[in-house]
Amino acid sequence: MKKLFLLFAVATMSLSIYSCRETTEEKTEDAIESAGEDVENAAEEAGNEIEEVGNEIEAGAEEVEQEMEEEVNEDENI
């Protein structure tokens, strides 16, 4: 009877450890996927920010170019 009880206890513990391992693996996979999505989203946002800054720099450069042309035109008219 003792052997049967010990066998049942060992079998139960083995199953519980196996179940925990599967749950841990699933949680790890989910965490890795989530981290990958977060990195992807952050990279996309960074790309959008860089594009916006590039557009602002381009607009600023065009303004400076127009101001310089106006200054040159004013100097030529004097």
Residues 29-70 have pLDDT tens digits of 889 999 999 999 999 999 999 999 999 999 999 999 998 988
Q: What share of the chain is helix, strand, coil (3-state, %, to 5)?
A: 95, 0, 5
In this prediction, residue 1 has a pLDDT band, given cuts at 50, 70 and 90, of: confident
> What does the alpha-carbon distance between residue 24 and residue 17 come to, in Å, rounded to a whole number?
10
Greatest distance between any 2 Cα atoms in the chain: 115
- pTM for this model (two decimals): 0.53
What is the model's pLDDT at position 78? 61
What is the percentage of the chain residues whose pLDDT exceeds 90?
44
